[in-house]
Amino acid sequence: MSQANAEFQLVPLRRGGMGIRSERYGEICHPGVGPREEAEQVYVGALGLRGRWATEPGDFVVWDVGLGGAANATAVIQAAAAVDCSLRVVSFDWGPEPLRFALRHACELGYFGELKGWCQILADQGLVRFELGRVRVRWELVAGDFTERMKWSPGETADFPAPHAILYDPHSPSANPEMWTLPLFEALRGRLDSNRLCGLATYSRSTAVRVALLLAGFWVGVGVGTATKEETTVASNRKEGVAVPLDGRWLERCRRSGAAEPWDRPPFGGRPLTEATWARLREHPQFVGGQGGGAPGNGALPTVGLDAL
C-alpha cells in the first residue's frame, strides 16, 4: 500500500525499502536500488569524492541539482563526516516540499540518520550550518527554476561559488526535458572554474544527453551501473576527470542512432544527428586521434561499466 500526499506518494520498491513518487512528473525517485544505495553508487562513488575532499583548499563545493528528498545530499555529507574538511552544499529545487514530505516519512525511508534535524532546519530556513564528525558543513537550498537561474549572468549568482562536483539528478529527460537541453548544459559549463577540476554525475545514459554534454564542452564517460541500468554517465571539465571516456565505438553507434540529436527547444523528441552536430562531435578533443579510448589520466574520477547508447 502507498501513503498519499497531494503531490507525493511513499511507495514500496521492488528490491525492498521505500521510495518517493512525484505525482507531478509521474516518476519514482531512485527506483532501482533505493535512495541511499543509488546516491552512494552514482554520485559519491562515481565522482570519487572520498579521494578529493581533503585535497582541495577552502570549501569543497557540491551543487546538488534536484534536491528532492535529499538522499543524494545527505549521502555526500555523511560520507564526508570522516574527513577533516569544509563542505558547502548548494541544493537546487523548486522548493522544500519534497524534502518536507521525506522528513515526514523519515523512518520508512531510512536514510536521514543524524541529519534529520538539520534537514528540517534547511526546509524551514533555507540555510543551515553544522558539524558532523570531522566535516564542517554549510548547506543551502536555492528555490526556483534552475533553467532560469542558469540564464543569469555570473555576477548575479556570485553567492553560489563554482562547484567541485555536480550531482545532476532532475526528473528524467522524458518527464522533465527542459533540464536536459544543450543550452542548459552550455550555461552550466560556463559556470565552472577553469582552474578547478569539476566532475558531474547523472543517472541518465541517454545518447542525446551525452551528446549535449559533449557539445557543451564537457569530457564525457561511462558511469557506474545500478540495479536498473547497465551504466550511468559522468562528465568533467577536464580530460583527467573521466576514467572511462566514451570512445570511437560509441561515436559510431551515436551516428547510427535515431535519437542522438541533443534537444535545444520544444517540441522535444528523438532525432538522428544532423550533419552539423556530427561534424562538431568528430572535432571534440575526446575523439580526435582516437583519444576517446585512451587510458585514464591521473586524478580521474573512478567509473566502471560498458559503453552503450
Q: How far is Cα 254 from Cα 240, in angstroms, rounded to an integer? A: 23
pLDDT over 80 (residue 308):
no
Higher pLDDT, 267 or 63: 63
Q: How far apart are the first and last CA of the chain?
A: 36
Cell 537546487 belongs to which residue?
Answer: 92
> What count of other Cβ atoms lies within 10 Å of the Cβ of residue 117?
12
Q: What global pTM score does this model have?
A: 0.89
Please list the residues that pair with 61 across neighbouring strands.
88
Q: How far is Cα 245 from Cα 261, in angstroms, rounded to an integer? A: 19
**% the chain with pLDDT above 90:** 66
List the Cα angle 2/8/10 in 5-degree steps: 30
| pLDDT at residue 63, rounded to an integer | 97
List the Cα angle 194/160/98 in 5-degree steps: 125
**% the chain with pLDDT above 70:** 87
> Each residue of 86-109: pLDDT tens digit?
999 999 999 999 999 999 999 999
Query: Where is average pLDDT lowest: 35-49, 123-137, 154-168?
Result: 154-168
Q: How far is Cα 171 from Cα 209, in angstroms, rounded to an integer? A: 13
Q: What are phi and psi of 24, to 5 degrees?
A: -60, -40
In the numeric block, which cell numbers belong to residue 280? 562538431
Q: Are 15 and 227 in contact (CB under 8 A)?
A: yes
Query: Where is average pLDDT lowest: 138-142, 160-164, 262-266?
Result: 262-266
* 142-172 b/e (C-beta count within 10 Å ≥ 16 → b): beeebeebbeeeeeeeeebbbbbbbbbbbbb
pLDDT over 50 (residue 293):
no
Please list the residues that pair with 166 across neighbouring strands.
63, 200
> Each residue of 98-138: pLDDT tens digit?
999 999 999 999 999 999 999 999 999 999 999 999 999 99
